[in-house]
């Protein structure tokens, strides 16, 4: 073998799968074994995690295991909603196992978005369900927000902030979050954000349906735009994430129970986050050779100073919403 | 449960344990993107197993795996229309291995640069022969060509590679 061939060989020996990558692919291939079902795939993590529990509750565990191993429980758990006994199986086991199949960076992002969409759908399903307690609904909304934040990679933002909105806010907020991750552009997200914010108080089902329909239509358009991947897509996601956090801050600022000082704090934070989002949007716009949809400007004016608010005065939430072309009255009854 | 299929699956997992790294290396050299290469390894094995499940016969599993991966690489280029090693060459060769000294790294970069300038068909043969260590017979089987054709093309590819390398 001469030098060139030897160098190629030597270079190639430096490249190999990492242990975690190798194990993840192996797990995926093992799941293809004849007769394997998703329930069988999750036996080990399930057993090891709840081993001690199983010893203490042998009979009931055996019964559950029998059902579970047969595949029935796993399938049932997939349809479970928050508050149900099977829901922990869905999120703690079924989805954890599925996450093992997302081996690459891209597929992990897709998987996190899928989970966010699942949580959103659940939020909508339980919103009007009287048998589910308000506490469970509120807790689930926190989970929704955390999952959406994870999907957007918004690590630096707080993920466990208290959710102050009433349950009537849940559905439109959920739809807005759905908008965030349905491959829409940042500009579209601004529209979705504002629409969803505007719908907070009324929460009519028609609005949700309309938003979903719009999103589906835009999804189909975006599916044709292969170029909207890679770095541009990442920036879009970052912008969407920022807008999502800003929207949450505005919702929190609209809560009548909090102090004016706290309102100002939330609004300032929202304004700053929207500016950051604007930077991402601008960079995406500059690089985009074709416009996917008609751009909707995000107007965060540097010239206009938000006035300091004292007790009894209008909230600065109103000011920032005016700048963002949204009727602020929707946030204040 | 089909006992034969279960046996085949055990052999299939064994093949992954033995060939996973080699296939990853191959795809990495062809597409120069770790994540894409990883997905390709998984897809290669999944598609191969689906073939087995349909009852199709595979005479040489190793050659068949490379055949499937080669098709995935071709699909990838059709979709992305990007040149395989361009990114790698732009960024410099980085095997993410701290044990590689600067001189060795530079040498690798030069040869990778030369490999990247080869036409895709020639690059494929060079990678299969000198990265994967496949025999002429296995390469012939993987790309559906005669051994004679593979030998001639590989000889020509190496000749071109040396020219390119010496001009770096």
Q: Could you tell me the sign of the dihedral formed by the alpha carbons of B78, A233, A182, A75, in that order?
A: positive
> Nearest C-alpha of chain A: how many angstroms from B146?
23
| pLDDT tens column, B114-146 | 887 888 888 889 988 988 888 899 888 878 889
Measured between alpha carbons, how far is B154 from B148 in angstroms, rounded to an integer? 10
Question: Measured between alpha carbons, how far is A40 from A74 in angstroms, rounded to an integer?
Answer: 9
Residue ranges in chain A whose pLDDT is less than 70: 1-2, 35-78, 89, 92-94, 96-110, 117, 145, 147-249, 251-252, 254-256, 280, 284-333
Q: How far apart are CA A234 and CA A243, in angstroms?
A: 14
- Write down the residue that tokens 């700048």 correspond to: A323
- Per the CB < 8 Å rule, is A16 touching B24? yes
Q: Residue A107: its chain B contacts at CB < 8 A? A: 39
Predicted interface score ipTM higher than 0.85:
no
**Inter-chain CB proximity B25 and A16 less than 8 Å:** yes
Residue reference for tokens 């505005």: A250
Say if residues A180 and A189 touch (Cβ distance below 8 Å). Answer: yes
Tell me which DSSP letter residue A307 carries.
P
Is B39 in Cβ contact with A29 (below 8 Å)? no
Scanning every residue of chain A, which has its alpha carbon at the shortest distance from the alpha carbon of B36? A104
Q: Nearest 5 degrees, angle CA A256-CA A257-CA A259?
A: 90
Residue ranges of chain B whose pLDDT lies below 70: 1-3, 80-105, 168
C-alpha pair distances (Å), A39 with each of A44, A67, A272, B8, B138: 10, 10, 46, 22, 39
- Alpha-helical (H) ranges within chain B are 3-31, 34-53, 61-80, 86-91, 102-117, 120-126, 136-143, 147-166
Residue A160: left if φ>0, alpha if ψ -120 to 50, beta else—which one? alpha
In chain A, the residue whose alpha carbon lies closest to the alpha carbon of B127 is: A8
**Pairs across A and B, CB distance < 8 A:** 97
- Give the pLDDT confidence of A68-87 residue by residue, as tens digits: 544 555 566 667 788 777 77
Give pTM, 2 decimals: 0.41
A280 Cβ neighbours under 8 A, 6+ residues apart: A186, A235, A236, A238, A239, A242
B148 burial via Cβ count (<10 Å: 0-12, 13-18, 19+): exposed
B112: closest chain A residue by CA: A8
Q: What is the helix (H) or strand (E) element at residue A190, kind and residue range? A: helix A186-198
């Amino acid at each position: 073998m001469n030098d060139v061939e030897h160098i190629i060989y030597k270079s190639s020996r430096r490249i190999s799968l990492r242990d975690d990558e190798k194990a993840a692919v192996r797990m995926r291939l093992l799941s293809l074994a004849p007769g394997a079902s998703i329930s069988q795939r999750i036996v080990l993590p399930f057993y090891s995690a709840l081993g001690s529990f199983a010893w203490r509750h042998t009979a009931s565990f055996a019964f559950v295991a029998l059902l579970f191993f047969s595949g029935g429980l796993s399938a049932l758990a997939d349809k479970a909603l928050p508050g149900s006994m099977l829901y922990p199986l869905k999120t703690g086991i079924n989805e954890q196992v599925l996450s093992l199949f997302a081996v690459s960076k891209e597929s992990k992002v897709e998987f996190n978005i899928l989970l966010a969409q699942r949580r959103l759908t659940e939020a909508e399903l339980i919103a009007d369900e009287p048998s589910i307690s308000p506490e469970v609904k509120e807790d689930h909304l926190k989970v929704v927000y955390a999952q959406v934040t994870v999907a957007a990679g918004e690590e630096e933002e707080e993920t466990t902030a208290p959710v102050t909105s009433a349950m009537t806010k849940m559905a439109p907020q959920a739809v807005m979050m759905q908008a965030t991750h349905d491959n829409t552009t940042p500009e579209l997200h601004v529209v979705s954000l504002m629409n969803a914010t505007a719908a907070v108080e009324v929460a009519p089902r028609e609005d949700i349906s309309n938003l979903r329909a719009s999103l589906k239509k835009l999804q189909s358009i975006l599916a044709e735009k292969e170029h909207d991947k890679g770095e541009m897509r990442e920036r879009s996601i970052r912008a969407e994430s920022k807008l999502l956090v800003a929207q949450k801050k505005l919702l929190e600022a609209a809560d009548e129970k909090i102090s004016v000082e706290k309102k100002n704090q939330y609004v300032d934070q929202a304004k700053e986050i929207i500016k950051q989002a604007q930077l991402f949007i601008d960079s995406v716009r500059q690089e985009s050779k074709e416009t996917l949809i008609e751009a909707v400007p995000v107007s965060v004016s540097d010239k206009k100073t938000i006035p300091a608010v004292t007790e009894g005065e209008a909230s600065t939430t109103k000011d920032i919403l005016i700048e963002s072309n949204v009727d602020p009255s929707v946030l204040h009854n | 449960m089909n006992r034969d299929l279960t046996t085949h699956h055990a052999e299939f997992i064994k093949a992954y344990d033995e060939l996973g790294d080699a296939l990853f290396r191959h795809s990495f050299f062809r597409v120069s993107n770790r994540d894409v290469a990883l997905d390709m390894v998984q897809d290669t094995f999944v598609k191969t197993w689906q073939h087995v499940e349909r009852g199709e016969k595979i005479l040489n599993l190793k050659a068949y795996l490379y055949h499937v991966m080669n098709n995935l690489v071709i699909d990838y280029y059709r979709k992305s229309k990007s040149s395989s090693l361009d990114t790698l060459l732009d960024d410099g060769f980085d095997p993410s291995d701290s044990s590689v000294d600067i001189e060795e790294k530079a040498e690798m970069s030069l040869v990778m640069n030369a490999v990247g300038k080869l036409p895709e068909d020639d690059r494929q043969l060079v990678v299969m022969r000198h990265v994967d260590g496949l025999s002429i017979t296995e390469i012939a089987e993987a790309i559906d060509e005669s051994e004679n054709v593979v030998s001639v093309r590989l000889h020509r590819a190496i000749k071109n590679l040396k020219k390119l390398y010496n001009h770096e």
